Each structure stands twice: as C-alpha cells, then as structure tokens.
A = this chain, B = another copy of it.
Amino acid sequence: MVSKLDNRKADFEAAFTALLNSKRESDQDVSDAVKAILADVRARGDAAVIDYTSRFDRLDLTPETMRVSAAEIAAARAEVKDDVRAALQEAAERIETFHKRHLPEDDSFTDAQGVTVGARWNAVDAAGIYVPGGKAVYPSSVLMNAIPAKAAGVERIVMVVPAPDGYLNPLVLVAAELAGVTEIYKIGGAQAVGALAYGTDTIAPVDVITGPGNAYVAAAKREVFGTVGIDMIAGPSEILVVADNKNDPRWIAMDLLSQAEHDEVAQSILITDDELFAKMVEDAVEDHLATLPRAVIARTSWDEHGAIIIVSDLAEAAPLVNRLAPEHLELAVDNPRELAKDMKHAGSIFLGRYTPEAIGDYVAGPNHVLPTARNARFTSGLSALNFMKRNTLIECSAESLARIGPAAVTLADEEGLQAHGRSISIRLNRGD
C-alpha cells in the first residue's frame, strides 16, 4: 500500500524524514569479493577476465573472441527493423545536439599586474562505457553514455557488455555503432571494470568509466576511482511528480508507473494540493496495473516505496523537493518555470503537462544518466564534462613576477617551505 503523508498533520515531519531515510538499496557488502576480482584481473589480465566470464556468464571466450567483430555488428544491423533504427537515429541526433551545446570554453586573460592566466579543456584519451546485458536491453543507455564522450572529442570509446550464455542484443550493438563506440567487448561485472581500468593484453586501459550496473559493478567503480575517473554510483530510479488537480489523473498515474516498472526498489512520489485528485491518481494506478506487462514489478515498487504527499499549497513543495533531491522531477502545473525557481536539487526537470519523464529517457536530448539517492544535492547528470578535464595555465614576465612574487614569498616562508620562496626570489634578484 502506497504511503500517504499530509503536511497539515502533526506527524508530517516525522513521516517525511522517515520517507527521506528509507533505504531502498541492499546493504549487501560485496567489496571484498570485488577487491579480489580486481586484484586478479590486474595480475592475470585476459586470463582472469576469461575465467570470470566463464564462471558468471557461462560464456567461454578467448582473447580473439572477446571483442565483438565487424561481422557480428553487421549481423546485428540486419536484424534491426527500419523504424527502430530510425527511432535510434532520431534519438542519437537529438542527444548529440544537446550535449554539443554544453562544451566548456577555454579562457585566457592578462590582468592588471601583467600575469596571464587561463584554462584549457581537453578530452580524455579513452572512455569505457559499461552496459548491462542479459534480460535488460537498454540501447538508450548506450546512446546516453557514448554520445557525450563523442561530443567531448574522445577518440577511443570502449564498450563492455556481458553476453550471458553468449547472447548479445542486436539493438545494443546497433546503438553502439550509431553512437560512435570504437571497440566492444563481451564481458561484464567487476572483471570488465577491472579490465577497463588496468588494461589487459587485449584491452588497452581507459581513463574514465561510466554507466550503470549491479552491486558488483558499482563497488568495482568505487574501487578503481583514482586509477580512472568514474561518473557516479547509480542507485534505483526515482520520480517525483508535483501536480495540481487540473491534470488528467491517468496521465500522472502512468508517469508514476513508468518509474515503478523499472525495478522493485524504484520510487515514485506524488506531491499534490488536492486530496480528491490524489485519490483519483491512486485509482488510476490500479487501473493501469491491470494491463501493464511489468505490473508485478511496478506494484511492488509502488506499494513498498511509493508515496503520496498532500500539501496545502504547491508553493510548499519546493523545500520538500530540495530535501528529496529526486533524479526526475515532473512539474505538471500551468506555470512550471515559476514553481521550479526555488527547486535547486533535482537531476532533470520536466516542465508542464505534456512532458512525461519518459520523453527524457529517449529522445528529448538531455542525458538520462542522472544522480539518484539524493545525489542531485551535489552532482549532475552525465555530460561531455565527465569526459573532459581542464589544465590551468599561468604565465609571468620578469615584471609581473616582481609584482606578485613578494606576497608568495611571504606566504611560503610562513608555511616553512623555503625552496618555494627561493624559487621566486632567485628570479627577482639575479644575485640571490
């Protein structure tokens, strides 16, 4: 049964805090197992990766068959229907357009003291994209991970995707080709993360690893962070819908279910100012569940983690939104931009009655890899920035060093770092 909260009631703060702190992820600590796998991949390279793939994916590989061949990609291409390929293409173009708009700009300026300082952005040399395999088929995730890397200018984009029992979905391969992936390997789990981070004889190491995965993949990414960059530690999906009573309750119910169907531990929350409307949405959820293929998963998520929050006025929603910091925030009201002004913490915001969250999952353009588990308080969805880094640049002349150098010498001496100070003063006074 979905939770009900009401901000006019005395117990609201306690109930809201409980909702905020409710755990949806398992506490399963796989870090020791993952450390062992990573150490083994680091030590034995290909041989270790092949062993774990045989054990976990029931697939026997060799260094030669580990990589998906051009023939396999061509076969996949032949299997994908034209309309599906066209939809992927449309999505890819829109995602590329959006991500290319937000490339950071270089800067250089000379200040009043004559010091020239600046910043210069470069892409990483190689990106690794983790894509889940098996039951889950998410070509959209391939696009959402690889296209930002391509937009950043990354030359080598390496995808790993497990092929349990040898099965690889053709759509995933076609999406990879469309998105500009340059190498694909049929491996997954912590062993794939280790291969990307440390490299093997067959797989050259990458600089950044992005993409979703299970608890082992998440733990492995945390472990290799520092050897490579990572995007984030992804948790179960979330949606928070803020809706007034002028919405069709069936639309809002379907939006809530579109997250709930992902996963039993996904979370869908509705904030509304109308109790009757809330009841209508709840009823519509039941109606939809009767015909949804993934009804069992969606019902578990909705009953165990769903919530309906009644507020006396939608203006009261902002502080609740900021505390929840949801991955997806839908504002189904007449003036959503006004309402969004005070809502700082959310991964992606869907404005108005005609912007269901699912449009952002596929074709709108912004990334669907977004911070979960309240991480929107401090981090952003995936973008080209995840695949780039900045050098700063400093250039002094003899004159400008003479102007700003003395303060640096003073501070270096206070910190007890005399060679620091002397490396400046020796240039200010040739006789030093």
Partner of A401 from the list B248, B359, B371 (CB cut-off 8 Å) is: B359
Knowing A394-B359, A423-B258, A426-B251, the reply to whether A410 touches B107 (Cβ < 8 A) is no
Of A11-19, A50-58, A62-70, A117-125, the one touching chain B: A117-125
Q: Are B107 and A362 in contact (CB under 8 A)?
A: no
Number of interface residues of A (CB under 8 A): 122
Distance of A410 Cα from B346 Cα, bound (Å)? 27
Residues of B within 8 A of A119 (CB): 102, 366
Residues of B within 8 A of A203 (CB): none
Q: Are A349 and B233 in contact (CB under 8 A)?
A: no
Give per-residue flags for A126-146: 1 if the beta carbon is below 8 A from chain B beta carbons, else 0: 000000000001111000000
> How many copies of this kind of chain does the complex include?
2
Residues of A78-104 at the interface with B, using a CB-CB cut-off of 8 Å, are 83-84, 86-88, 90-91, 94, 97-98, 101-102, 104
Partner of A418 from the list B261, B365, B421 (CB cut-off 8 Å) is: B261
Distance of A100 Cα from B391 Cα, bound (Å)? 16
Q: Are A361 and B408 in contact (CB under 8 A)?
A: yes
Give per-residue flags for A410-427: 1 if the beta carbon is below 8 A from chain B beta carbons, else 0: 111011111111111011
Distance of A68 Cα from B101 Cα, bound (Å)? 45
Give per-residue flags for A200-223: 1 if the beta carbon is below 8 A from chain B beta carbons, else 0: 000000011000000000000010
Give per-residue flags for A1-35: 1 if the beta carbon is below 8 A from chain B beta carbons, else 0: 00000000000000000000000000000000000
Distance of A358 Cα from B416 Cα, bound (Å)? 13
Residues of B within 8 A of A427 (CB): 251, 353-354, 356
Q: Are A225 and B222 in contact (CB under 8 A)?
A: yes
Q: Are A258 and B358 in contact (CB under 8 A)?
A: no
Distance of A404 Cα from B364 Cα, bound (Å)? 8
Residues of B within 8 A of A261 (CB): 417-420
Q: Are A359 and B408 in contact (CB under 8 A)?
A: yes
Q: Closest CB-CB distance, A415 to chain B, in whole Å? A: 6
Q: Closest CB-CB distance, A213 to chain B, in whole Å? A: 14
A residues neighboring B (CB under 8 Å): 83-84, 86-88, 90-91, 94, 97-98, 101-102, 104, 107, 109, 111, 115-117, 119, 122, 124-125, 137-140, 171, 207-208, 222, 225-226, 228-229, 232-233, 248, 250-251, 254-255, 257-258, 260-262, 288, 292-294, 298, 336, 340, 344-367, 371, 373, 375-381, 383, 385, 389-398, 400-401, 404-408, 410-412, 414-424, 426-427
